[in-house]
Amino acid sequence: MSIAFGVARLLRYVVASAAKFSEVAVMSVTENEFTFKAMDPSKTALLILVVPREATLDYKVEGAEQMAVNLEDLSKVFRSAERDDTITLSWTQSSLSISFERKGFTRGFTLPLSSAVEEIPEIEVEYPNAYVLSPPMFFDALTGIEDVGDTIRLEGDENELRLRAESELGEAEAILSVERGGIESADVKEPGFSVGYSTEFISNVKPMIRVAERLTAKVGSDLPLYLGMSSHGLLIEYYVAPRAE
């Protein structure tokens, strides 16, 4: 069984980001979609990549399977992926094969699969506030404040989403708004929210934000931050738990 993708750069970013906070990724395949999940040991961050069958170049899967792979090893393999590579994943019960093809030249790698697959729980949260954001402007906002502190606080209403970096040395603020740009649409039922998150975990997905075609942020008091990024028919979902006050 095998799956072929034409989005090498995006997959490289997903694997590299997951490897920063987790040792193992769980990959699930059905006849309709491929799913990649990674959660950090403290359950602060969860990264999910969903690839529908129709978004792949080739999809040869029968039945359903789960497999676990070491992320450090997988990230080393994906570092060699070029932007215009075609990636093919194929597997047996004990190994995962990855091949990169460009201009008729193929590079192949094989990694062992773990015999134990950790169950990563589903997250079901009803969010009172949702923003559709400009990916480039959100990327620039994070870049402008992330070095100031180890906490980024999100606050907002139906007109603005404010990002504040906090530390003992001071604060920095970036504002996205409906009027001045950055917010394409907003559905806010709980204005006046204020929630802090680890800067490290939010900055971790900046490369994916940069190449996203659409970005949705969902937030609410005492709730995990949700960032949904879509590109080339793929969906990346990223959750970050609130930071303890």
71-78 vs 8-19: helix axis angle to the nearest 10? 150
Q: What is the pLDDT of residue 228?
A: 98
Mean pLDDT taken over the chain:
94
H helices present in the chain, as ranges: 8-19, 71-78, 135-145, 199-203, 206-211
Mean pLDDT of 149-171: 91
pLDDT above 90: percentage of residues in the chain: 85
Q: Residue 241 in contact with residue 202, Cβ under 8 Å?
A: no
Q: What is the pLDDT of residue 221?
A: 92
Q: What is the pLDDT of residue 245?
A: 64
Pairing status of strand 105-112 against strand 95-102: antiparallel
Is the pLDDT at 188 greater than 90, yes or no?
A: yes
Check residue 106 and report its DSSP letter.
Answer: E
Beta strands in the chain (DSSP E): 2-5, 24-29, 33-39, 45-52, 58-60, 65-70, 86-91, 95-102, 105-112, 129-133, 151-156, 160-167, 170-177, 183-188, 193-198, 214-219, 225-231, 234-240
Q: What is the pLDDT of residue 239?
A: 98
Mean pLDDT of 52-74: 95
- The strands making up 95-102's β-sheet, listed across from edge to edge, are 58-60, 2-5, 86-91, 95-102, 105-112
- Lowest mean pLDDT across 13-17, 44-48, 104-108: 104-108
Condensed to tens digits (0 to 9), the pLDDT of residues 85-138 reads 999 999 998 999 999 998 889 999 999 998 777 888 888 999 999 999 999 999
Mean pLDDT of 180-187: 96
Q: What is the pLDDT of residue 152?
A: 95
